[in-house]
Amino acid sequence: MEINVMEKLKMVAGLFALVFSPSLLAALPTPVAPSTAPAAGDWLGFVTGWADDAGTALGLVLGMVAFAWVSWSLIAKFNEARQGKAEWGEVGLLVVVGGVILIFEVYMLTESAAVI
Helices (H) and strands (E) in the chain, counts: 4, 0
> Contact at 8 Å (CB) between 103 and 67?
no
> Contact at 8 Å (CB) between 95 and 74?
yes
Residue 45: its pLDDT value, please? 82
Q: Under DSSP, is residue 110 helix (H, G, I), strand (E, B) or coil?
A: helix
Residue 2: its pLDDT value, please? 63
> Contact at 8 Å (CB) between 62 and 30?
no
pTM of the model: 0.60
Comparison of pLDDT for 102 and 21, the residue scoring more = 102
Residue 101: its pLDDT value, please? 92
DSSP 27-42: TPPPPPP-TT-PPTT-
What does the mean pLDDT of the chain come to? Answer: 84
> Contact at 8 Å (CB) between 48 and 36?
yes
Rounded distance, CA 95 to CA 90, Å?
9
Domain boundaries, the chain: 5-115
**What mean pLDDT comes out for the span 91-115?**
89
Q: Which residue type, as a one-letter code, is found at position 34? A: P
Roughly how many angstroms between the first and final C-alpha of the chain, as a whole number? 59
Position 22 confidence tier, pLDDT thresholds 50, 70, 90: low
What percentage of residues in the chain have a pLDDT greater than 70?
89
